Amino acid sequence: MSGYWAGILVILAINVIAAYSAWLPLAAGQVNLGTAGFMAVGAYAGAVLSGDYAWPLPYAIAAGAAASGALALLVGSAVLRARGLYLALATLAVNEVVRGILLNWDAVGGASGYPVIAHLELPPIALAALGVFLLAAWLGASRFGMTLHAIEQDETMTGLFGVHVPRTQLAAFAIGGALAGLAGALYAHHFSYIEAQYFTVLLSVTIVLSVVLGGVQTVWGPLVGAAFFTLLPELFRGASNWRYVLFAAAVIGIMALRPQGIVTRAALMRLTGRKPA
Amino acid sequence: MIAQQLVNGLMLGAIYVMVAVSFTLFFGCLNFLNFSVPALFMLGGFLTWALVQMGLPWVLAVVGALAAAALASLVVERLTWRIQRGGPPLIPLVSSLGFLILFENLVLVRWGSDARSIPSPFGDANIRIGEVVVGIPQLACLVVAIGLVFGLQFLLARSKLGRGIRSVAESPETAAILGVEVNKVVPRLFLLAGLFCALAGVMFSLSYQLVSPFMGDQVALKGLAAMVLGGMGNVWGAVIGGLIIGVVEVFAISGLSADHVNVVVYGLLLAVLIIRPTGLFGDAALGQQKL
**What pLDDT is recorded for position A9?**
93
Are A85 and B291 an interchain contact pair (Cβ–Cβ within 8 Å)? Answer: yes
Strand ranges for chain A from DSSP E: 114-115, 193-194
In chain A, residues with a C-beta closer than 8 Å to the C-beta of B80 are 255
CA dist., res. A247 & res. A254, Å (int): 11
Closest B-chain CA to A210: B94
In chain B, residues with a C-beta closer than 8 Å to the C-beta of A241 are 105, 108-109
> Are the beta carbons of B197 and B100 closer than 8 angstroms?
no
Q: Residue A173 sits in which domain range?
A: 3-199
Q: Look at residue A248 and tell me if it is in a domain.
A: no
Are A85 and B27 an interchain contact pair (Cβ–Cβ within 8 Å)? Answer: yes
Q: A266: which residues sit within 8 A by CB, 6+ positions away?
A: A276
Residue B211 has phi, psi (to 5 degrees) of: -130, 150
Q: Flag whether residue A18 sits within 8 Å of chain B, measured between CB atoms.
A: no
Q: Look at residue A256 and tell me if it is in a domain.
A: no
CA dist., res. A43 & res. A20, Å (int): 17
**What pLDDT is recorded for position A235?**
83
Q: Which residue has the higher pLDDT, A68 or A116?
A: A68
Q: Look at residue A250 and tell me if it is in a domain.
A: no
Residues A40-83: pLDDT tens digits? 999 999 999 998 888 899 999 999 999 999 999 999 998 888 88
Q: Give the HSE-up count for residue B86: Cα atoms under 13 Å, Cβ half-sphere.
A: 4
Interior angle at CA A99, CA A214 and CA A87, nearest 5: 55
Find the CB nearest B228 among A85, A111, A209. Answer: A85
Residues A185-212: pLDDT tens digits? 999 999 888 998 899 988 998 899 889 8
CA dist., res. A206 & res. A35, Å (int): 10
Q: B261: which residues sit within 8 A by CB, 6+ positions away?
A: A100, B249, B252, B253
Q: Which of A99, A168, A122, A106 is nearest to A13 (CA)?
A: A122
Q: Which of A82, A85, A47 is nearest to A65 (CA)?
A: A47
Size of interface A-B (CB pairs under 8 A): 153
- pLDDT surpasses 90 at A4: no
**Quick one: average pLDDT of A150-157?**
87
Are A89 and B262 an interchain contact pair (Cβ–Cβ within 8 Å)? Answer: no
Point out the least confidently predicted range of A105-119, A153-167, B94-108, B158-172.
A105-119
- pLDDT surpasses 60 at A276: no
- CATH class label, B2-275: mainly alpha
Structural domain total, chain A: 1
Q: Look at residue A151 and tell me if it is in a domain.
A: yes
Closest A-chain CA to B85: A259
Q: Look at residue A144 and tell me if it is in a domain.
A: yes
Are A86 and B279 an interchain contact pair (Cβ–Cβ within 8 Å)? Answer: yes
**What pLDDT is recorded for position A51?**
86
Q: Tell me the Ramachandran region of residue A124: left when phi exceeds 0, alpha when psi lies from -120 to 50, beta otherwise.
A: alpha
Are A209 and B273 an interchain contact pair (Cβ–Cβ within 8 Å)? Answer: no
Calculate the average pLDDT of chain A.
Answer: 89
**What pLDDT is recorded for position A225?**
92
Question: How close is the nearest chain B Cα to the Cα of A122, in Å?
Answer: 29
- Could you tell me how many helices (H) and strands (E) chain B has, helices first? 12, 4
Residue A58 carries which side chain, given as an amino acid letter? Answer: P
Residue A56 has phi, psi (to 5 degrees) of: -60, 145
**Quick one: average pLDDT of A16-38?**
93
> Are the beta carbons of A183 and A44 closer than 8 angstroms?
no
ipTM of the assembly?
Answer: 0.86
Give A267's pLDDT tier (boundaries 50, 70, 90).
Answer: confident
Q: B130: which residues sit within 8 A by CB, 6+ positions away?
A: B3
Collect the ranges in chain B with pLDDT lower than 70.
123, 233, 283-291
* Percent of chain A whose predicted confidence (pLDDT) is above 90: 47
Residues A214-262: pLDDT tens digits? 888 888 999 999 998 898 888 887 777 788 888 889 888 888 887 777 7
In chain B, residues with a C-beta closer than 8 Å to the C-beta of A258 are none
**What pLDDT is recorded for position A126?**
92
Give CB contacts under 8 A, 24+ apart, made by B124-131. B130/B3, B131/B1, B131/B3, B131/B4
**What pLDDT is recorded for position B285?**
60
**What pLDDT is recorded for position A154?**
86
Residue A89 carries which side chain, given as an amino acid letter? Answer: L
**Could you tell me the end-to-end alpha-carbon distance of chain B, in angstroms, rounded to an integer?**
43
Eight-class DSSP state of B35: T
Q: Look at residue A216 and tell me if it is in a domain.
A: no
In chain B, residues with a C-beta closer than 8 Å to the C-beta of A212 are 90-91, 93-94
Are A84 and B93 an interchain contact pair (Cβ–Cβ within 8 Å)? Answer: no
> Are the beta carbons of B74 and B90 closer than 8 angstroms?
no
Q: B37: which residues sit within 8 A by CB, 6+ positions away?
A: B19, B22, B23, B26, B193, B197, B216, B220, B223, B224
Question: How close is the nearest chain B Cα to the Cα of A66, in Å?
Answer: 23
Segment 107-146 of chain A within 8 Å of chain B by CB: 111
Q: B268: which residues sit within 8 A by CB, 6+ positions away?
A: B229, B244, B245, B248
**Quick one: average pLDDT of A137-144?**
92
**What pLDDT is recorded for position B4?**
86
